[in-house]
Homo-oligomer: A and B are copies of this chain.
């Protein structure tokens, strides 16, 4: 262990309790969509205290709307500040973005929570509450790492850019806004809850809707009509066939143990209005996975073309083609090469801190890394404390020991990636 590492780890261990108290303060701010201001004020206070240059702004809808990556999740972002803190380096080093989202999904049915969802209660080394694992715990690990570097008197060559963003849970407007405002870097980490596995690739996705028509008739003479449900079943089955075609193409070893690497999920179906009438309209909605090396546009086109050719081959649908639309959210996929220098560094640092090899996986869902990678062209790695399986669920929690240990990895990554200019 180098002296530098020893210093950083010692600082982090000594200040673990403060970091836990700080996490509790963040959890006690229920930063669901449109209610992010309170938690951001606590983040701003911390960044100011650490001496970072702090930029706070409400993302502007009209500016975001110019980006092809913008998916409107709200009418306005006024009152929902995005926060960036910058610690300029001494020069000559590589820069890094530490990105975490500060929004949380709603608590859901409160009766399913043992304690208040925003209590931040600690029990047996775990803190409970909405956002503990997804992902305020990760954010605190990032901040503790930055603090450890600063307070240990280490001056880095490269810049640190800390993103505390809104709207990740609704498609990534916050991270898109930081990129459009010019905050970029040579590499990025997002400590989403991966249980400290490295999610080097992430599946993107978008929502689609297919509408099919029939002809209404009285149920007693249903042969005079055409059931839109029967037509929708053809579309349903045809989409599952496309899923198979697409997944048969996937040969990435990261997906070798995953039954369906890029699934197409048909999530809802709705049609017909009366038991005694032949249904004349059915709508299905779903989510289509986008592979790490695919683009959303290309995958949209593949679905449109597949449904069109399916219709063309059908007696009814060729004259009454199903309508395909894309709506609502989309998540951009992401991929970093496993031999990218930043990935190599992360493997090495992980072994240093954890004493074992880093597990590398592809995630079945998107993160803001897709925007960092595609809009900012930044190699962005997703790795953080906490378990995915408790995210979005009642009684969400994070193991605090894991959070503190992650801070050590993130601190070491700062010095080794950005380079050390001097120490006090």
Decide if A259 is an interface residue (CB 8 Å cutoff).
Answer: yes
What is the chain B residue whose CB lies nearest that of A220? Answer: B364
Interface string of A80-112 (1 = CB under 8 A from B): 000000000000000000000000000000000
Determine whether the beta carbon of B236 is less than 8 Å from that of A276. no
Decide if A233 is an interface residue (CB 8 Å cutoff).
Answer: yes
Q: Which B residues lie within 8 Å of A221 (CB)?
A: 263, 364
Q: Which B residues lie within 8 Å of A275 (CB)?
A: 207-208, 265, 267-268, 285-287, 328
Measured CB to CB, the closest approach of chain B to A175, in angstroms, equals 19
Decide if A279 is an interface residue (CB 8 Å cutoff).
Answer: yes
Q: Which B residues lie within 8 Å of A266 (CB)?
A: 227, 229, 272, 279
Q: Which B residues lie within 8 Å of A277 (CB)?
A: 265, 267
Given the contacts A229-B236, A229-B269, A275-B286, A263 and B203 also touching, CB distance less than 8 Å? no
Chain A interface, DSSP helix/strand/loop, else mixed: mixed
Q: Which B residues lie within 8 Å of A207 (CB)?
A: 275-276
Measured CB to CB, the closest approach of chain B to A411, in angstroms, equals 31
User: Which residues of chain A (260-290) have a CB below 8 Å from chain B?
Assistant: 260, 263, 265-279, 282, 284-287, 289
Determine whether the beta carbon of B287 is less than 8 Å from that of A269. no
Given the contacts A233-B236, A266-B229, A266-B279, A218 and B274 also touching, CB distance less than 8 Å? no
Decide if A65 is an interface residue (CB 8 Å cutoff).
Answer: no
Decide if A241 is an interface residue (CB 8 Å cutoff).
Answer: no
Q: In the docked arrangement, what's the CA distance between A279 and B268, Å?
A: 6
Q: Which B residues lie within 8 Å of A56 (CB)?
A: none
Determine whether the beta carbon of B260 is less than 8 Å from that of A223. yes
Determine whether the beta carbon of A265 is less than 8 Å from that of B203. no
Determine whether the beta carbon of B272 is less than 8 Å from that of A278. no
Determine whether the beta carbon of A274 is less than 8 Å from that of B278. no
Q: Which B residues lie within 8 Å of A263 (CB)?
A: 219-223
Interface string of A188-228 (1 = CB under 8 A from B): 00000000000000010101100000000011111100010
Decide if A11 is an interface residue (CB 8 Å cutoff).
Answer: no
Decide if A365 is an interface residue (CB 8 Å cutoff).
Answer: yes
Q: Which B residues lie within 8 Å of A237 (CB)?
A: 233
Q: In the docked arrangement, what's the CA distance between A236 and B287, Å?
A: 24
Measured CB to CB, the closest approach of chain B to A112, in angstroms, equals 14
Q: In the docked arrangement, what's the CA distance between A286 and B218, Å?
A: 11
Given the contacts A365-B218, A365-B220, A267 and B274 also touching, CB distance less than 8 Å? yes
Q: In the docked arrangement, what's the CA distance between A70 and B221, Å?
A: 25
Measured CB to CB, the closest approach of chain B to A379, in angstroms, equals 22
Determine whether the beta carbon of A269 is less than 8 Å from that of B267. no
What is the chain B residue whose CB lies nearest that of A263? Answer: B222
Q: In the docked arrangement, what's the CA distance between A275 and B286, Å?
A: 4
Determine whether the beta carbon of A267 is less than 8 Å from that of B259. no
Q: Which 4 A-B pairs have the closest CB atoms?
A: A220-B364, A219-B265, A268-B272, A219-B287
Give 25 pairs: A residue, B residue, CB < 8 Å, sorted on A: A205-B276, A208-B275, A220-B263, A220-B287, A220-B363, A222-B260, A222-B265, A227-B266, A229-B236, A229-B266, A229-B269, A229-B284, A265-B276, A266-B272, A267-B272, A267-B273, A267-B274, A267-B276, A267-B277, A267-B278, A268-B274, A269-B271, A269-B279, A269-B282, A275-B287
